[in-house]
Amino acid sequence: MMSQSQSDVLSSLKKHIEKSPLDSTVKGYDLGCILNGYALMYKLTGDKFFFDQIKSYIDSVSFEKGNFDVFYLGLSISFLFDETKEDKYKDLAFCIKDRLLEFEGYIQKASCSDLIESIKEYMPFYVDFETRWNKKNGYNDICDKFKNAAELISRDKTSSISLEKRIGFLKTLVDSLSVLSIQIYEDYRLLEDILRQGIKELFFGQEDFDKALSLDCTDKMMSAYILYRSIKEGHVDAEKYESLARLLYDSALQKEDYNDPGYVGAFMMATAFCEEYMGCIYNLF
- CA 274/CA 9 separation, integer angstroms: 15
Q: At what angle do helices 217-232 and 261-271 cross, to 10 degrees?
A: 20
Q: How far is CA 87 from CA 81, 90, 99, 263, in A?
A: 7, 5, 19, 33
Is the pLDDT reported for residue 148 higher than 50? yes
Maximal CA-CA distance, the chain: 56
Q: How far is CA 263 from CA 14, 125, 143, 217, 266, in A?
A: 16, 21, 29, 7, 5
Is the pLDDT reported for residue 2 higher than 60? no
Closest listed residue to residue 267, CA positions, set 259, 275, 256, 276: 256
- In contact, 270 and 220? CB cutoff 8 Å: no
Cα 104 off chain centre by: 21
Is the pLDDT reported for residue 206 higher than 60? no
Coil vs helix vs strand at 140: helix
- CA 179/CA 173 separation, integer angstroms: 10
Q: How far is CA 58 from CA 18, 52, 179, in A?
A: 17, 10, 20
Say which residues have a Cβ less than 8 Å from residue 199's Cβ, sequence separation at least 6: 170, 226, 227, 230, 236, 241
How many other CB atoms are there within 10 angstroms of residue 255's CB atom?
Answer: 11
Closest listed residue to residue 123, CA positions, set 149, 105, 161: 149
- Band (232; pLDDT cuts 50, 70, 90): very high
- pLDDT tens for each residue of 255-276: 767 778 889 899 999 999 987 6
- Dihedral angle computed from the Cα positions of residues 19, 25, 28 and 32, in that order, rounded to the nearest 10 degrees: 10
The pLDDT, as a whole number, for residue 35 is 96
- pLDDT tens for each residue of 96-120: 998 887 776 555 555 556 778 888 8
